[in-house]
Structure 1
Amino acid sequence: MSIPSLDTALPAGVDAREHARLLRRVHDAALSGRPTPASLRPVVEDSWARVRRLGIDPDSGPPPRTARLDELHRDRTASPIAEVLPLIRRALVPVADQADHIMLVTDAAGQILWRDGSHRVRSVGDRVGLVEGAFWNEASTGTNAIGTALAVGRPVQIYSAEHYVRNLHTLTCACAPVHDPRDGRLLGAVDVTGPVSTVHPSTLALVHTVARLAEAHLQSIHHTHLERLRSVAAPLRAGLNEPALVVDESGWTAAAVHMEPVRRILLPRHRGGTGAWLPSLGECSLEPLPGGWLVRPRPSGERTPTSVTVDLSGPEPSVSVAGDSGEWTHRPSPRHAEMLLLLAVHRGGRTARQLSQDLFGSPDHVVTVRAELSRVRRQLGGIIESRPYRFSDAVRVRVHAPGTPEGLLPGSTAPAVLDMREGRAETPAGMTTGY
């Protein structure tokens, strides 16, 4: 498995203690409005800007919000990372013990679901609220490896006074997000945290590798489940003379009969009846199978007008698709969330070159844009049109934004999204916000 170049907190050849002292001077100067003796890394500078807008007090940051035990148990049970937790523990807990670190696993909202490792550092964690059930997103605790990695969607190491809140300056932490290998959805993160004296550049590569291994194992589990479903449905498929799909509980296709296979379909949230209207397929019958569904398109089924809600108000974007026969929810990747927001702004449509300019600040990324939009259209068939790319005229589109303009897709660096955050560009008609 290849390891990309990672943005570690310690520059090559720098003495860790000297660097920590420099960072404290930078922190003091930046927060008092004086010129800083050195520049912050861009990922830290951007995070500080976000948490300032959130009103986090660097001198007395609030204790992180902590879930009740029953809520923690529910969220642990619901987390797909629970399936690969033994792998993560085997890879990280021995290292954490030896290096005087603790290992933390969070969900997509930054809630710590599991904690293991050094007893001494667990005691330190207790004092700052680094405990199971606590939320360590940027809105709760300012700049920290967990919250910042979840915000930007990539591995992050935060050292000493790079933490925005002063009582965290004694810590060093490295965190890597874990994504659903099937669709890129953010599932949570893996983190190791310890005293500043234990900082090491290789820690970031370690947690990134473990996160990648966890994603690979989740992919293997998914393939095994689809193969099992395929085998269970084999006798039924052999007797079918009309088009049909065999899908798992989440709509991922295990087999296609007499029709072109699609990677995934959006199943209704409630499946009590025998029929449902599905994007790209129209009216279908749904028959339960062990671990999945048999989906049969009805020849006379017509596509009905649909409403789409792009919800950007929470820690993870979601898209809800409502039709006459039910409602579907999809978790888009950060890039796809950007595209859906832009298409909601430009209901008349956007060419690939225009979207390339919107997303990358250059018209030279047309191939990337077309590939990503092809994925979006497969996931939301019948809703996104092409030539130009746009929401179907029959679709009613709503966008739910966060409570402040600055919270709109905070991890996005797309120029068009930055313009919306700064009030330099229009927002979708009918967008609902808390500000």
Structure 2
Amino acid sequence: MREGLVASGGPSYRGLPPELEASWRRSRAHSLDAESTDAPLFYDGLKLDDYRRNHPLAALLPMVRSVLTDSVAESGLIVAVVDYAGTLLWVEGDHHTRTLAEDLSFGPGANWAEQSMGTSAPAVALVTGRPVQVARTQHFALHIQCFSCTAVPVRDPITGKILGALDITGGDRAVAGHALALMKATGLACEGYLRELYADRMPTCLYHGGVQAGLGPTTLSAVGRAKPLLVDGAGNAVELSQRHAEILFLLCWEAHQRGRGMSAEELSEQLFGSGEHVVTVRAEMTRLRKFLAARPALAVEVESRPYRLVASLELDVVELWNALRSGDLDQALGFGSQSFLPESGAPGVFEVRHRVATWLRELVLERANAEQVLKYLDTCHDEEDEQVMMLALKILPEQHPRRTEIVLNLERTGEIDGMRCNPPATGM
């Protein structure tokens, strides 16, 4: 099965459960190479120590070790504690398996998000919010098919947002039937422990990637705003300059799509259309980092080499993108006609705008019902889009009051001549 998938570009996913098939498709959409992809190292040394020390999942380590690690290590398995973005925080358990895993970049500080490594149990659990098992050849990356894994998400007990995941990795025992039951029970126990631990201090005690998770992460509000905003978890808004908003948008979008970060040259291309503005990019990045550092309540941090977000930042456009990806046309249309960063002429922003608009239009033409196509006509469409208007005439009831308006618009564009409320009957 694997050879056919790799060679053919992915036309067939026979044999994969639906949630893994979807993950494979997303992995391909991230332009990952199954034969050469490798996990990027997001943290090491003192930065890793500091990040782990301040992470809410650190409070769970004693429980995880006593309930899970000590028992599965005897079966040759290892346990990974993973943050919400797919970065491995702790990897413990059987020494031999841990050594093999580290040789494959499965070690603390490495990022195993779907956009970095493709399909794996922790990656899929973080995307879907559900327990999952991935056996050997079900992994997207070829070189990790010697392992199997089971993972469960761990949620903030107040907001329900995902704080991270627990994963067991090793041989076939990692995907045995009892392994899934054990992981589900451990995940529930961890969430219960967090609920009790912070009962007197919620909702402000937990942190989601450095953000107060009980209040929610910071959001870059870019849809329909001439002046973009950063809105912290408490609802406090800070206005951004156009350039800083573009940089954060591009970094956040890149984190959502690939998770590998961007070089100064890549940012220059995305902001200005060429790689010749590296000095300007670095100067803007210095100003942006100072701006963010002076506002710790936002809890947004940008690392360099490559430039990347290392704390949670939500992007309203991603919600629209996810709706399109899942085929949820009602949710996608709920965003209305407002473009994101409408004042921006940055090529990278324009490209995403175009992709979103094109995908939405294709979904409308493919599956919209009468109510949905009218909503699209009212809020999102190009007034010269004859194809969508003809679709509306095709599916609207003959006596619908909007037909006359649509026919008049089509006459104005020259698509039809002399047509009124109803198209002529067949044969006339």
Query: Take 1:107 and 1:190, find their aligned partners in 2: how far apart are those partners?
Result: 9
Match of 1:123 in 2: 99
Match of 2:2 in 1: 27
Match of 1:321 in 2: none
Which structure has more strand as a fraction of its residues?
1
Superposed CA deviations along residues 299-348 of structure 1, whole A, max 9, x for unmatched, are xxxxx9986999763459xxxxxxxxx896599xx9x9889946xx9xxx
Q: CA RMSD in A?
A: 5.2
Structure 2 residues not aligned, in runs of 5+: 208-213, 219-230, 258-294, 301-311, 366-375, 381-428
- Specify the code of the residue in structure 2 equivalent to 1:155: P
Shift of 1:218: 0.9
Query: Take 2:195 and 2:7, find their aligned partners in 1: how far apart are those partners?
Result: 48
Match of 1:174 in 2: 150
Cα separation, partners in 2 of 1:330 and 1:179, compared to 1, 3 Å: farther
Determine whether 1:57 maps to 2:33: yes
Query: Take 1:417 and 1:41, find their aligned partners in 2: how far apart are those partners?
Result: 31
Do the aligned residues in 2 keep the contact of 1:177 with 1:189 (CA within 8 Å)? yes
Structure 1 residues not aligned, in runs of 5+: 1-25, 227-246, 252-263, 269-277, 283-303, 317-325, 346-355, 362-388, 409-415, 430-435
Shift of 1:134: 1.0
Match of 1:199 in 2: 175
Query: Take 1:143 and 1:210, find their aligned partners in 2: how far apart are those partners?
Result: 23
Q: Map 1:332-347 to 2 at 5 A.
A: 341=319
Match of 1:132 in 2: 108
Match of 2:74 in 1: 98
Match of 1:89 in 2: 65
Shift of 1:198: 5.2
Query: Take 2:65 and 2:362, find their aligned partners in 1: how far apart are those partners?
Result: 42
- Specify the code of the residue in structure 2 equivalent to 1:146: P
Match of 1:358 in 2: 330
Cα separation, partners in 2 of 1:30 and 1:315, compared to 1, 3 Å: closer
Instruction: State the TM-score, normalizing by the size of structure 1.
Output: 0.52
Query: Take 2:65 and 2:27, find their aligned partners in 1: how far apart are those partners?
Result: 31
Query: Take 1:218 and 1:104, find their aligned partners in 2: how far apart are those partners?
Result: 18
- Specify the code of the residue in structure 2 equivalent to 1:101: L
Cα separation, partners in 2 of 1:327 and 1:123, compared to 1, 3 Å: closer
Shift of 1:417: 11
Determine whether 1:76 maps to 2:52: yes
Q: Map 1:375-386 to 2 at 5 A.
A: none
Q: Map 1:192-341 to 2 at 5 A.
A: 192-196=168-172, 199-225=175-201, 248=204, 313=253, 314=255, 329=298, 341=319
Cα separation, partners in 2 of 1:64 and 1:341, compared to 1, 3 Å: closer
Cα separation, partners in 2 of 1:422 and 1:119, compared to 1, 3 Å: farther
Superposed CA deviations along residues 349-404 of structure 1, whole A, max 9, x for unmatched, are xxxxxxx972499xxxxxxxxxxxxxxxxxxxxxxxxxxx999xxxx98699xx79
Q: Determine which of 76, 80, 89 is the counterpart of 1:113.
A: 89
Do the aligned residues in 2 keep the contact of 1:111 with 1:134 (CA within 8 Å)? yes
Which structure has more helix as a fraction of its residues?
2
Do the aligned residues in 2 keep the contact of 1:65 with 1:140 (CA within 8 Å)? no
Match of 1:143 in 2: 119
Match of 1:161 in 2: 137
Do the aligned residues in 2 keep the contact of 1:267 with 1:328 (CA within 8 Å)? no
Do the aligned residues in 1 keep the contact of 2:159 with 2:216 (CA within 8 Å)? no
- Specify the code of the residue in structure 2 equivalent to 1:96: V
Superposed CA deviations along residues 18-56 of structure 1, whole A, max 9, x for unmatched, are xxxxxxxx2112222287594321111111111112221
- The sequence identity of aligned pairs, in percent, is 25
Query: Take 1:94 and 1:196, find their aligned partners in 2: how far apart are those partners?
Result: 18
- Specify the code of the residue in structure 1 equivalent to 2:33: D
